[in-house]
Each structure stands twice: as structure tokens, then as C-alpha cells.
Structure 1
């Protein structure tokens, strides 16, 4: 019998895990993550807006999005979709662009969606971060984004 490889504790602490239950059907929550008309409505912390520069949500497809902060600064993020399994799972890379336009450290994001009696249990995993401060900053940003996603799903749910 083969056992699963263990992940060193240091690696685990450099990962972000968030689980949320949304009062919306799984298909709608998945679309909110994978269709541009939805995806520009909720990402980013409170007060931010988003625009999509490039968006190809298919395996190997590239995305580039700008989060516009209330203070007028722009934050560009980019990545590649690795796995797209509607309506159950997404895997993509995530890297912020520096002022020079080059990507910074890259993480892998995995999001799964499970039907829970007409609601959606979303499990979000991102890692491995280079610092705990980066992990914690992303945790705060994603948590606020998911609050915004919850509000948006309430607006668009049937």
C-alpha cells in the first residue's frame, strides 16, 4: 500500500484555503468565475472595480485583468487556465504584474464547486506563497471579493 506524500509544514503554512457556502446554484457560481460579464462584477476588495483585458477560460487559455483601486491605482493580474471542468472545478495560475509589466511570483489557484441542496459549497486553495504576508494579504483580498460575489449572486440568482 502506497501512502500519499506528505507536504512539509512550512509549505502548508504558505497556502491559503477558504471555504464559502453561496445561496446560489452551482452552475451560476461557476459562470460567475468563468464568464467575463460576471467576472468583472465582483473581484477585488470593497470599493475596487475590475476590467478584463484578455480572457480565454479554456485549458491553456490566458487571462489578464485590472483591479482599479479607489485611490486610482491599477493592479494587473494575469495567468493561464490549467483545468476547466464545468461546473465543478477550475485551476489557474495567478501572478501580479510589476510596474515593468513583468509577472511577479506565480501561485496556483484551485477552486471546486459542490452542490449542497441547491446552494454551492466553494472550496478555494491558493499557493504556494513566497511569504506569509503575501498569503495573508491575498486572504484579505479574496475574502472581500467573496463577500462581493455573494452580494452579486443575490442580484443575479433566479
Structure 2
């Protein structure tokens, strides 16, 4: 019998957020985007190490430029998959450095349900070490989900 997946204890870090978006892509396409195609919509191409299976670790980088002539800033992301329900749910830990989760192992839960020809996506991100970290992600996630919607709806 396999060992149960260890869920992070978030009791000392109660800051969390939730965002929802109606997506053009289907739940199946979005599930694949989070588990096998993160470099298509979020991660820098060539940086992804990901199996998309419960209790496996992943790594990827995002690259951001604050202006066209500024130096690229890389942002490593680490985590592991906690729960996967095909086309319905992705739950993973999410760990980034300064300007992100401040090194705290947070938990992202993505719930997918069919809606018209697409999906309703509800993202909950929990376990932030402080309000500033939570607020930064509360601003960022809607833009990230918009990018997901645009890239994955194109087929």
C-alpha cells in the first residue's frame, strides 16, 4: 500500500484567496494544461520538469521583464501534486521565493466544472505567510488565468 500524500499544515498561515473565471476551453483541456502543458501558457519553454502524477514533484520557471529594455527576471516555481481528479480537480503545492510565496509551501486547488461549451474554473490559493504575499497573488492570478484561457482556447 502506498504512503498517503503529506498535505502541508497551513494552520499558522491562514491567508488565502479565491478567483473564478469562465473559460472557453473544456475541463479536459484545462486539466491537461495544469498537469502536462504548463509551458504552453505559463512556464518559460524548456524549464519544465513535471510528470503530472500525484506525489511527484515539479519545477518550472517564469520569466518577467518589467519593461522591454529591462533585464529578464527568472522566478523558479517548485511543488508537488497532492490530488488529481481527471477533468475535475488539480491540487498542488506552490512554492516560490521573494515576491512570491516567500519560500512558504502554499496549496493551489483548481476546480473545473463544465459550463456551456467551456468550463468554470475556481482557483483557491491558501497558506500565504502574510497579507502582502496573498495580495500580490490576488492581483496576479486573474491575469494568469486570462493567459491560460487565451492560449488553451486556441487549440
> Shorter-chain TM-score: what band?
0.7 to 0.9
The corresponding residue for 1:24 is 25
The DSSP-based 3-state class of the residue aligned with 1:56 is coil
TM-score relative to the length of structure 2: 0.79
Matches within 5 A, 1:1-158: 11=14, 14-35=15-36, 38-43=37-42, 49=44, 51-70=46-65, 71-97=71-97, 104-156=103-155
Does the 8 Å contact 2:35/2:50 carry over to 1? no
Aligned to 2:125, what secondary structure does the other structure show? strand
Provide closer, same or farther for how the CA distance between residues 58 and 66 of structure 1 changes in structure 2, counting only shifts above 3 A: same
> TM-score, normalised to structure 1's length?
0.78
Q: Which aligned segments of 4 or more residues in structure 1 are displaced greater than 4 angstroms?
A: none
C-alpha separation in 2, matches of 1:144 and 1:117: 22
Between the two proteins, the alignment pairs up a number of residues equal to: 136
User: Displacement, 1:139?
Assistant: 1.7
> How far 1:144 sits from its partner (Å)?
1.2
Whether the 8 Å contact between 1:51 and 1:67 is mirrored in structure 2 is: no
CA contact (8 A) 1:26 1:118 kept: no
Deviations 1:92-142 (A, max 9, x none): 1011146xxxx8111011111001132100110011211111001112222
* Structure 1: 5+ residue stretches without partners: 1-7
